[in-house]
Amino acid sequence: MIVRAAYLVAQYRHARPKAAKSSAIRTRAHLDAVGPALASAVPAGSAVLSIGPRNIDEVQALDAEGWIVSAVDLFPTHPRIHRGDMERLPYPDDRFGLTWVSHVFEHAYSQRRAAREIVRVTRPDGMLWIAVPRGGTPNPHDRWRFDTVADVVRPFREAGGHPVVAWSQERPSELRVLLRLDKTPRGAPRRMLVALTDPRMARDWAA
């Protein structure tokens, strides 16, 4: 209980000074970078979840893509942003075609619980955008360190999301990763699509 309270205090102290700082430029840069990979996977009208947007700017940037956006934050600053914890998301299973987690996942109290909840509310074959700072030293606010794309993917694999990296970018100070979640239970039949461009390959496959 005391540890959890200390965690919330650390998050509040960090979040409040940044509440009025616009994230629109960063969100636009992320959308521009990953846009082609999202265009067909998340069409206009899709349900999208923004986790930890801090203020309305990120929500409005996602709105502009034609998506139906819900948002949740520990310390909401706008009526459109629901109060909630990424480890206990107030949404039903398989609700969102895209879950947007920009510079938030490093703050999770329990990385495992947060990943499990994010996987739960994202639809099968849904997309998950994760951007986190690269490197750094963990502290009461930024609790987790990420050095490679594999560090970002691992918690979602362990949570049962069976993530496939659709797009990624390793920048000096930031990791950007777009995942497609394959939530098919292990052992269940899976569809396989194989491109057979070589006639010999096609004959070998048929044989």
This prediction has a pTM of: 0.85
Residue 143 DSSP code: -
For residue 2, pLDDT beyond 90: no
Q: Which of 68, 95, 99 is nearest to 86 (CA)?
A: 99
172, pLDDT greater than 60: yes
Model pLDDT for residues 35-86, shown as the tens digit of each residue: 888 988 999 999 999 999 989 999 999 999 999 999 999 999 999 999 999 9
